[in-house]
Amino acid sequence: MPGSNENELNGDRIVGLSLTERQQEVLQLFADGEALREIALELGIAHQTVKNLMIIVRERLGAKSSTHAVAIALRNELIA
């Protein structure tokens, strides 16, 4: 819908996608092969916080899984 805040497809990329710095950091570490517990230790935050951040990331990206979230983020240059 015109004027809506929803993301729109533009080729293979989705216009309007964004993640917070912390969400990008957690997703990047996950993409690099870190387990959620390792991410929590590395960032000095609770394991449950990392799990919650990944849930939010999946929802924001419209991903079916964490792996799918990584693929969407890579395609949209949200992580490297």
pTM score, whole prediction: 0.82
How is the chain split into domains, by residue range? 18-75
- H helix intervals, 13-75: 21-31, 36-43, 47-61, 66-75
Q: What is the CATH number of domain 18-75?
A: 1.10.10.10
Which class for 74: exposed (0-12), middle (13-18), buried (19 or more C-beta within 10 A)?
Answer: middle
Per-residue pLDDT of 11-61, as tens digits, reads: 566 767 899 999 999 999 999 999 999 999 999 999 999 999 999 999 999
